Structures are given as structure tokens and as C-alpha cells.
Structure 1
Amino acid sequence: MLRRLFNERVTHLDLTQAQWRALVHLSRNEGLNQVALADMLDVQPITVARLIDKLVAVDLVERRPDPNDRRAQRLFLATKAAGVLARIWEVADEIYAEVLKDMTAEERDTLISLLTRVQSNTGKMMPRGISSQSNNKNR
């Protein structure tokens, strides 16, 4: 429901859900390759390749050569992405403020602690090679 609500509130950014999610993950993990980003987004690498092509075309993402592998490229946010991400975080903050408004600070801390524990336990159950590192940040 949160994702659906968020999608409704960011339509003016002209980004698909997949695109804004990719930008958010890249903002936390610049320098990823497309395969790692595909794992984080839980999609196939070819899907991410097309997604990144579109983000490159609108100057939100840059591909740069991987210094350790001449066949690979790393993904970085372009300068223009800063403004888009600022708006994404602003909308996220507005939504979280609304949905958590009836909770005390202590209840919010407890909720975050419990959800973090669930996430950690779930991550331990995942097969090796599947990363939950992008989800370990507080946004």
C-alpha cells in the first residue's frame, strides 16, 4: 500500500516505479553494476539494462567503465538526479509522517527495531549471493 501511495504522489516526476526504485538503490550504492542492481530490484539483468538505458537517456544515470573489468560498466547518478531524489525523499518523508502520526516516538522506535529484526532474519534465510544490503539503510 505504501508503494502504491508513493507512486500516486510522484506521478509528476514522470518516473515509473521501477525507475524511481533504481534511482533510490543507486543513491545508496553508487558504482554498482547492472547485475547487482538487478538482484536488489529482484528483476532480470536484461530488464535492468533497458531500465538503465531509459535513465541514461534522460540524464539521470551514467554508465562508467569498471576499472577492474573492461567488459563491465558501473552505474552512477548523474548531476540531474539530485533534484529528483530530493523530491523522492520529500514525498517519502511526507507519507511516513502521515502513516506514523498516531504513534509515539517510542512506538516508532519499537516498530523500526522489530522490522529491522525481521529483515535481518529474512536476509539470513536468503541464498548466498542475494544481497539485502540495499535494504539495510533507514529509508
Structure 2
Amino acid sequence: MLHKPLPVVRSLDLGIGFLIGDSSRMLRRIFNERIAPLGLTQAQWRALVHLSRNEGLNQVSLADLLDVQPITVARLIDKLVAAGFVERRPDPKDRRAQRLFLTEQAAPLLDQIWDIAEEIYGTILGGFARSEVEALAGLLERLRGNVAAVHLGASSAPTRGD
């Protein structure tokens, strides 16, 4: 049985999903190449960056942010703990859980990661006006919110910025 084709939507004509996916993939590849001399894998630098923005996460929450299984994060955190960049602390609300925190040893490494990020973004956004960068960030935040709402099955309509 043939499926009825989807109606043509202008955003699909523009290939927005492909543009976002390709840009994200290429950007991650650039980061991986520039961060490799620091001795970090993609999973490690992404975990450190997420923890720098959300210290005190538990491993399950970090796994959600990294889009991996909790067991994968457990092994990843084991390596970051062994390297002295992360420490586990008991969760005061749940004695079975542990919270993740960066150590002082992670600070210089994160400074290097931020320097690399600043250099990369300075290059890839070099031809954009400040207002364009701010508009792009706002649009991507709104898009992420709409995608999250669909992902979570929210019944509210996506936001519109008229």
C-alpha cells in the first residue's frame, strides 16, 4: 500500500532539518579536531561542558543531556573521576544517587575549551552582525523549545514570534 505523500511545506523545501543536522555535525567535528590535543574525547568534553553549566546533576540527567544510556555515562564519569576532573558526591535527597561536580583541576581545562569555542565561533560567525547572531540564537532557542514540546508530547501549540 502506498502512503499518501506529505504536503509540500516551504521549510521542507529549504531543507531546514538537513541544514541544522549538517551544521551541528560539522561543528562537532571541528570541536573534536581542535580539542583532541587536550586529550579529551567528544563524550568527555561534552560532559564537562554540560557539568560546567549544570553542576550537581546526577548521572541519569547527564545521560539525557548527552543522549546516551546511563551505563555509558557511568563509565564516562569513572574516567573523568580517575583523571581528577569530576567528583561524585552523595545526593542529600536520595542516598542511592550521587551528584556530579567539577573539581578545581577541571577549571584550566574548561578555560582551554572555552578559548577554543571562542575561536571557532569567532570564525564561523565572523560575517554576521551582532544583531544577526542574537536573532539566530533566539530563533534556535525557540526551535529547541518547540522540538522539546513535540518530543515530550506537549499539547500546547508551538510558539510563534510575529
| Same fold by TM-score greater than 0.5 | yes
Q: Secondary structure at the match of 1:101?
A: coil
1:31 aligns with one of 56, 71, 82:
56
Q: Which residue of 2 aligns with 1:135?
A: none
Q: Which residue of 1 aligns with 2:136?
A: 111
Q: Which residue of 2 aligns with 1:55?
A: 80
Q: CA deviation at 1:24?
A: 0.5
Q: Are 1:125 and 2:150 counterparts?
A: yes
Give RMSD over aligned pairs.
1.0
Q: Are 1:41 and 2:73 counterparts?
A: no
- The structure whose Rg is larger is 2
Stretches of 4+ moved more than 2 A in 1? Answer: none
With a CA cutoff of 8 Å and minimum separation of 6, indicate the structure with the bigger relative contact order. Answer: 1
- Give TM-score scaled by structure 1 length: 0.89
Percent of paired sites with the same residue: 64
Structure 2 portions without partners, runs of 5+? 1-25, 154-162
- Give TM-score scaled by structure 2 length: 0.76
- 1:38-58 CA-to-partner distances (Å, cap 9, x unmatched) read 011000000000000000000
- 1:23-80 CA-to-partner distances (Å, cap 9, x unmatched) read 0000111111101110110000000000000000000000011111111111000111
Q: How many residues align?
A: 128
Hey, what's the Cα distance between the residues in 1 that align with 2:67 and 2:89?
A: 23
